[in-house]
Amino acid sequence: MDQLSQIVLVVMAGMLVITTFFVAFRILRNLAFGRRFRSDLAERMSKLRIHKMLEHLGRDRTEYLHNLPIVKIENQLRACENCAATDTCDDVLDNGHPVPDFDFCPNHPDLLQVVDSTPKTPTAHK
């Protein structure tokens, strides 16, 4: 191998190493951002009635946040925030009514799909 080929090889190897480290850094940064984002969603969810609904259905909030698309979670949180049936929801959740009584909830159909598509937690609340 002549000297020019060696220089090109060293430059290309250096570029490959730099690219590898850059990609690894971006992946780790993205994982940290995703963890913070889901933590913020969990905090937002804990202030809404939807977390009580998930507990009532026997679902873990962390599992819910990690198994559903963010867009769907955001839509469900927004629907819960803007819900007009909060008094009914509080009454039903506090008194432990069965799931069919949740027809007033705008998230009811979506949450039933979540229930049908995810495994139950070992101990359901209420």
- pLDDT, average across residues 87-96: 81
- Tell me which range, 14-18, 61-65, 69-73, 105-109, is most confidently predicted by mean pLDDT: 14-18
Written as six digits, the tokens of 95 are: 């008194």
- The residue among 116 and 9 whose pLDDT is bigger is 9
Does residue 61 contact residue 45 with C-beta atoms inside 8 Å?
yes
- C-alpha 6/C-alpha 69 separation (Å) is 49
- pLDDT on residue 125: 44
Residue 1 — pLDDT band, cuts 50, 70, 90? Answer: confident
Residue 18 — pLDDT band, cuts 50, 70, 90? Answer: very high
- The residue among 43 and 114 whose pLDDT is bigger is 43
Residue 99 — pLDDT band, cuts 50, 70, 90? Answer: low
Nearest to 49 by CA among 74, 101, 85: 85
Residue 97 — pLDDT band, cuts 50, 70, 90? Answer: low
Does residue 60 contact residue 92 with C-beta atoms inside 8 Å?
no
Does residue 114 contact residue 61 with C-beta atoms inside 8 Å?
no
| Contacts within 8 Å (CB) and 24+ apart, 62-66 | 63/118, 63/121, 64/114, 64/118, 65/38, 65/41, 66/38
Task: Give 44-88 pLDDT, tens digit per residue.
Answer: 999 999 988 888 888 888 888 888 888 999 999 999 999 998 888
Q: Map out the domains of the chain as residue ranges.
A: 1-40, 48-126
